[in-house]
Structure formats: C-alpha cells, structure tokens
Amino acid sequence: MLAKASLYRSCQVFSSGIIFFGSSKTQLLIPRRNMSFHLGGSTLKVSAKLFGENRSRLLKELKQKAPKGSVVVLEGGKDKKRYNTDADDLPFRQESYFFWTFGVHEDDCYGIIDVDSGKSILFPPKLHPDWAIWQGKIEPESWFLKKYEVDEVHFHDKHTIRDTLRSLNAQQLLLLRAENTDSDNVLEPAEFEGKNEFNVDVKLLYPIMAELRVFKTNLELEVMRYAARIACDAHKMVMRQVKSGYYEYQMESLFRHTSYFHGGCRHLAYTCIGASGENAAILHYGHHNAPNSKKILDGDICNFDMGPEYNCYASDVTCAFPSNGKFTEKQKIIYNAVYKANQAVFKAAKPGVRWTDMHLLAERVILTDLKAAGILKGDVEEMLEKRVGAVFMPHGLGHFLGLDVHDVGGYLGDALPRSKLSGLKSLRTTRTLKERMVITIEPGCYFIDTLLDKALADPELAGFFNNDVLKGYRGLGGVRIEDDVVIWEKGNENMSADVPRTVEQIETFMTKREDHD
C-alpha cells in the first residue's frame, strides 16, 4: 500500500469513471462515486453536474473566440476577518463567478480550464497539519476530486499553478476582470506566483461569463425554485406570527430561523429589509443606521423584503401586509395599485419586450390608480413624460437574479445606455427579455416626504398633485410586491407564487393565523 503522503500527491479522473492514484509502477484504481451539496432531510440535493454543465457552456464559447493554447485561470474567494481581529466576519461564502464555474464552497482555491483539451483542474490550498486542530479534518485531494467532479486536483503552494500551466504549454492566460454596473466595483484578475511569465488577456472572459450567467440552465433553475420556495415559507411564517408590540428585528430573526432551520439556507442573499409603518417608505431600510429596530404598531403596513440563498443561488421576495391582518381603505388603495402593476408586468414581460418599457408600464398602472384615488390629477401620459412616476417609485422595476441578488449582465447584450431620468436611471437592466432570464418584478409605491416636497415645489410637477388628499397618505409608508420570475415564451413562471398576494388572500391567511393561535 502506498504511504498516504504519496498516495494523495496527485490524482486524475478518466472518462471511464475510475480514479487513478500513484506512479506508473504502482496503481490504485478506485470506482468513482458522485458527491453533491445536500444538507439532509428535505433540503435539495444539488449535483456537481450543474457546474460541469456550466464549464461546458463556457468551453463552447471559448473554443469559438479564444486562440489556441488558451487557459482560463480563476481565483476563488478568501475568508474575511473583522476589522483588526483574527475573527471571521461571517461564515465564508464563495465568490460567484468561481462558484458558477466549479461549485466549490471552500476558500482560497484556484481553478484552471484548458480550452484546447477541455480539462478542468482544481487547486485547493495546501494546509498546515495544525489546521486540523482548529478546523477539523484536512481532506485529501481525492475528496475534492470526487465532490466536485473535475478532471484533476492538486493542492497549491508557491509554484503549483505556474508549473501546471507550463505542463499544459499555456500560450495565453484568460483571467477574469469583472466590472459591476450597479456597484461600480471591479473583481480583479487572479494573482499567483509566476503569472508574469505568461501572456495575459483580461478582456475576453468577462463578457462571455457574465452573459452565460444571465441565462439559467434547468439545473440552476431547480436550485432557484427551491430557494424561492424557502423564501415563501419563511415569509408566511412571519405573517403568521407578526403582532403589534413585536420589533421588526424579531420578524427578521424569525425569517432567518425558518430559512435555515427548515430550508438549510445558512446565508441570506442580502440584508433583510424588515420595515413597518413610516419605515416602509425607506427603500433600503435595515441597512446602515436603520437596523430593523422599530416596534411594530397596530395597523402598521409591513414591507418585508427578505430572501435566503441555497447553494449560493439567491431568492428575493417582498411581501407587504398590515400588522393586524386588516387593510385600511388607504392601505388597500395603494396595495391594489402595486399589485395591479405587478400582474400587468408579469403578463406583458415576454421575450422580445424591452425591460425599460415594463418599468414604464408599472408606473402607468400605479399613476392611473393614484389618479382614481384623487391623489393625482391630469393626464397620466404627461405624468409619465414629466417623471411623476419616479416620485412614488424612485427605484427600478426589478433586476436579474442568480448567484447574486442583483445578478450580472444587466448592461450587456442589447442594453440601452443607463438613463439620466429619475426612476429610469435606477434600472439595473435595460435589455430585451429572452427565455431563461430570471428577473424580479417589484413595483412599489411609497410616500417619501423628501420626494413629495421636492415635487410640490416644482412648478412643472405641482399641478399634478391634490395636496389636500395627499396629506392623508403621508406617513402610510409604502408597498412593494416582489416576485422571482423566469421568462418563458409559453408564459412566465413565478417561482415565488406560494405567498398570499391579493388583499383578500392576505386577510384570510392572517385571520386563520389568529384562529390557529
């Protein structure tokens, strides 16, 4: 039997499904067994085939566009520490492009794809033996090979990646430099010893990978459907338990607990927005200096925007409802306006339709209902042109969803340049819709004093408002209804349909909650 150190020095997997260890003189053949991501119980089992399929899609594009001798080198994420301490900031979560390609959950990894041969190679970190004292068992290379179903695995140290690239006769390295059109942040290319010995291209890879991420495979959609279902279950748990006297953070805590305890979702896709009452008019409430800390009052509108992620795939669902389970007439008017907009967009958002037009459709529906309620007056089309819609919905209608809650690719393809107009400038994409895009539909209507006061002070806008009626809605907060939608030619799929949505459904659901209590 080979010594353990030499046994796991390197390993390869062949198409026969056999793992080969050792030198030409000594061979050990072990049948290959598939591993996957699964947290037991009723949680979803995710096959490593998902990421093998992603690599195949990437290779197909690169074989058409990359020169011979090209090799992709990606660097995974690194564990982050709190300021000036050695303590973890949060449980590690993998960088999304690396995860899309390899499905690897461990930090400090590298990955290589040889474009000519199609071979995929994973490089986990070579850990000091003492690591096992604090962090647990150090898995061998064979464990990573079996779990992630790549072609080779080598622990990396100072020169491992460079030497592997030399053995592949790499003529050009394709590195990822990924710009983000929402944050203006840049994911910088991989860094490793010996990088300067090779020709490097940092332009080819990003638009290809980002565009591939826009269109979800069947296996990706399976994970996203699961994440959306867990989000719906957690939102319904909050609706069952919410009462006046609770604090917003307690509802956030309940959502987190339900998502993790019942759904295996350790990570949330974004910071919870657990707004109630006037706070429901704060678009990113829950962040920074607004930490979901208000006591919920009887009759407050609750605007809860919360979504877990599973196996790094995000959900993003917003539910709005009264804390006591019964809408006031004014709350009902605003809720129904937003719900109508949500449904109108869901029906109209077909392949070939530009997302900018869907945003304007949502505004038109909401403005029409606000006019019917006496809050506004005048011609709705003129209101659209003068951007009155942005006074009530200053954010964009929705965004791509995937491995990031605001997923990539919004301004690739046939996207129009970002608008400079109010509301429209906040759109996270302006593209024409196509099948397999996953996008959120999240119209909203808010009574934000800053925007209302500014509009009333503008001679071009003030004439559209009935200020006496408007005063009765100030302080109401706001309503947002957000669904996670897959675009299909045959008709769109709402992955978050399993929550009460109409006024009647919400009131009935919350009444049954009281009976259950």
CATH number, position 287? 3.90.230.10
318 and 461 in a single domain? The answer is yes
Domain housing 402: 218-516
One domain, residues 422 and 379: yes
For residue 185, the model assigns a pLDDT of: 92
Which pLDDT score is estimated for 181? 87
Q: Name the band, by pLDDT with cuts 50, 70 and 90, for residue 19.
A: very low
Structure confidence at residue 88 as a pLDDT band (50, 70, 90): confident
| CATH assignment at residue 107 | 3.40.350.10
**Residue 22 confidence class, pLDDT cut points 50, 70, 90:** very low
Residue 3 is assigned to a structural domain of this protein: no
Instruction: Decide: residue 117, CB within 10 A, 0-12 exposed, 13-18 middle, 19+ buried.
Output: exposed
Average predicted confidence (pLDDT) for the chain: 92
Please indicate, yes or no, whether residues 202 and 333 belong to a single structural domain of this protein.
no
Q: What is the dihedral of CA 87, 88, 89, 90, to 10 degrees?
A: -150
Asked if residue 7 belongs to a domain, the reply is: no
Answer whether residue 24 is part of any domain.
Answer: no
Are residues 202 and 257 located together in one domain of the fold? no
Last residue of a domain, one of 214, 245, 277: 214
Report the pLDDT value the prediction gives residue 513, as an integer from 0 to 100: 64
- Amino acid 49: pLDDT: 97
Domain-embedded: residue 22: no
Looking at the DSSP assignment, which residues form a beta bridge with residue 72? Answer: 113, 174
SS3 label, residue 31: strand
Please identify, among 214, 245, 270, the residue that sits at the C-terminal boundary of a domain. Answer: 214
- Whether 190 is covered by a domain: the verdict is yes
pLDDT value at 9 more than 60: no
On whether both 182 and 255 belong to a single domain, the answer is: no
**Strand 46-47 versus strand 36-37 pairing type:** antiparallel
- 337 with 284, same domain: the answer is yes
Residues 466 and 319 occupy one common structural domain: yes
Q: Across residues 258-274, what is the average pLDDT?
A: 97
Residue 1 lies in a domain: no
Over range 362-386, report the average pLDDT: 98
Residue 26 pLDDT > 50: no
User: What tens digit of pLDDT does each residue of 62-81 get?
Assistant: 999 999 999 999 999 999 98
Same domain membership, residue 264 and residue 225: yes
The answer on pLDDT for 499 being more than 90 is: yes
**Residue type for 132, please?**
A
**Residue 302 belongs to some domain of the structure:** yes
Q: Do the beta carbons of residue 307 and residue 231 sit within 8 Å?
A: yes
Same domain, 112 and 139: yes
> What's the domain count of the chain?
2
User: 514: pLDDT confidence band, cut at 50, 70 and 90?
Assistant: low
The pLDDT of residue 204 is 98
The predicted-structure confidence for 449-477, as pLDDT tens digits, reads as follows 999 999 999 999 999 999 999 999 999 99
pLDDT, position 287: 86
Residue range 470-488: mean pLDDT, rounded: 98
**pLDDT at 375 (0 to 100):** 98
CB crowding 15-35: b at 16 or more within 10 Å, else e: eeeebebbeeeeeeeeebeee
pLDDT, mean of residues 360-386? 98
pLDDT on residue 42 = 94
Confidence of residue 13 (pLDDT cuts 50, 70, 90): very low
Cα 170 to Cα 51, 113, 161, 245, 513, distances in angstroms? 23, 11, 11, 64, 63
Gap between the Cα atoms of 452 and 447, Å rounded: 7
The pLDDT value given to residue 10: 39
Calpha distance 350→308 (Å, rounded): 27
pLDDT of residue 288: 80
**Token pair recorded at residue 281:** 């008019």
| pLDDT the model gives residue 55 | 98
**In this structure, is residue 18 part of a structural domain?**
no
DSSP 91: S
Kindly indicate the confidence band of residue 16, based on its pLDDT and cuts at 50, 70 and 90: very low
Q: What is the DSSP string of 241-275?
A: H--BTBBHHHHHHHHHHHHHHHH---EESS--EEE
Q: What is the pLDDT of residues 136-193, one digit of tens each?
A: 999 999 999 999 999 999 999 989 999 999 999 999 999 999 999 888 899 999 999 9
Q: Assess whether 286 and 434 both reside in one domain.
A: yes
The answer to whether the Cα torsion of 502, 507, 511, 514 is positive or negative is positive
pLDDT, mean of residues 357-366 = 98
User: What is the CB neighbour count within 10 angstroms for residue 81?
Assistant: 11
- Name the domain boundary from 163, 191, 214: 214
Q: What is the pTM of this model?
A: 0.92
Query: What pLDDT does 84 receive?
Result: 87
Judge if 186 and 224 occupy the same domain: no
pLDDT at 8: 31
Q: Dump pLDDT digits (tens) for 215-255.
A: 999 999 999 999 999 999 999 999 999 999 999 999 999 99
Question: Which ranges of 418-490 would DSSP assign to H, the alpha helix?
Answer: 449-456, 459-462, 467-471
Instruction: Return the pLDDT at 405.
Output: 97
Judge if 48 and 148 occupy the same domain.
yes
Residue 20 has pLDDT above 50, yes or no: no
